[in-house]
Amino acid sequence: MKNLPIGFIDSGFGGLTVARQSLRQLPNESIIYFGDSARVPYGPRPLEEVKEYIWQMTNFLLAKGIKMLVIACNTGTAAALKEVREALSIPVIGVIHPGSRAAIKQTHNRRIGVIATEGTIKSQVYKQALLEKVENLTVYSMACPEFVTIVEENRVGDFETQGIVNERLKPFVDNGVDALILGCTHFPIMRGAIQEAVGESIQLIDSGVETINEVSTLLDYFGLSRTANDAKQFPSTQVFYTTGEVNHFAKVAKNWLHKETIEVIQCEVKGNVLIETNHSEP
């Protein structure tokens, strides 16, 4: 059981920032990733539809064999975490609570900021998760959908970008927050620009980093962790599936994960199941 991979599911590329943290913090673990790029973004879709897609990816990975499932997508976590966790016999983790817990751990002045997509901010999942734990917090939330576009269009290093980010995040500086949750899995890609905009006195909370910390906690708790010795006997592996265009997916994944080669397998939706159709060039 412990030699099985950890499964990651996401609407597209975003969850790769969570997978990247798995490679960094848990190098002995194998991973298997599903990015539903053909149906991205999930944000504007009805909750029931998102839940259905999350179940399709979950069933696909369960059939491959996984020891733990990470819903590496804020919208997917909000829509389906509770239901999937209750239904599965393996541990299931989402990205919202780890970020919330880390912000509570870090804040000294109890003023916490959250940036995310419009859907996540409207759903107030972060605000609820935070206030359920500690009532006397002040939570400032802001949708920054243009940040997703900047990342997707590979404009993070552009001349104009820093100005846009500075302008957008100024209210958090003015309101004196001391912890800012990056509540969208795309945002760690532009972490440098965000830190530059808010200054060193605001601690950035990367949901991906914190999610993998919790993955590690639960793997240890359930005796499912692989040690360095295990990895010598059975080397760790990484496999990626997408409903999108495999070569484009491979290009982004290599870039974000700092890898020379990556195995990406093409999938399609048939009725309400996902099936494998093709492999990418290595």
Q: List residues binding a copy of itself (CB under 8 A).
A: 25-28, 91, 97-98, 101-102, 104-105, 131-135, 209, 212-214, 216-218, 220-221, 225, 227-228, 231
Using an 8 Å Cβ cutoff, are 41 and 14 in contact? no
C-beta closer to a copy of itself: residue 226 or 242: 226
Report the Cα 179 to chain-centroid distance in Å.
19
> Which residue matches tokens 């939330």?
141
Provide, rounded to whole angstroms, the least separation between the CB of residue 103 and a copy of itself.
Answer: 10
Tell me the closest approach of the beta carbon of residue 149 to a copy of itself, in angstroms.
Answer: 29
Instruction: Locate all alpha helices (DSSP H) within the chain, ordered by sequence.
Output: 16-25, 47-64, 74-87, 96-106, 118-123, 125-133, 145-152, 161-174, 191-198, 207-221, 228-233, 246-257
| CB-nearer residue toward a copy of itself: 131 or 265 | 131
Q: Which residue lies nearer to a copy of itself by CB, 158 or 220?
A: 220
Which tokens is 238 given? 């990484």
What the block records as the tokens of 200 is 């060193």
Looking at the Cβ atoms of 19 and 102, the one nearer to a copy of itself is 102
* 258 annotated to bind ligand: no
Q: ∠238-241-244 over CA atoms, to 5°?
A: 140
| 145 touches 118 (CB < 8 A) | yes
Instruction: Report in angstroms how near the CB of residue 265 gets to a copy of itself at its nearest.
Output: 28
The answer to the question of whether 242 is labelled as a binding residue is no
Q: Is 11 annotated as a binding residue?
A: yes
Nearer to a copy of itself, 85 or 254 (CB): 85
Minimum distance of a copy of itself from residue 211's CB (angstroms): 10
CB of 108 vs a copy of itself, minimal distance in Å: 10
Return the closest-CA partner of residue 267 out of 257, 259, 279: 279
CA dist 34 and 242 (Å) reads 6
Count of residues for the chain? 282
Is 127 in contact with 120 (CB distance < 8 Å)?
A: no
CB of 138: closest distance to a copy of itself in angstroms?
A: 14
Q: Which residues are catalytic?
A: 73, 184
Q: List strands edge to edge, sheet with 203-206.
A: 138-143, 111-116, 179-182, 203-206
Residue 126 in marked binding region:
no
Nearer to a copy of itself, 111 or 244 (CB): 111
Q: Does 186 belong to an annotated binding site? A: yes
Known binder of ligand: residue 36?
A: no
φ/ψ (deg, to 5) at 86: -65, -30
- Determine whether the annotation assigns residue 280 to a binding site: no
Query: Are 139 and 112 spatial neighbours (Cβ–Cβ below 8 Å)?
Result: yes
Which residues are documented as binding site for substrate? 10-11, 42-43, 74-75, 185-186
Which residues are documented as binding site? 10-11, 42-43, 74-75, 185-186
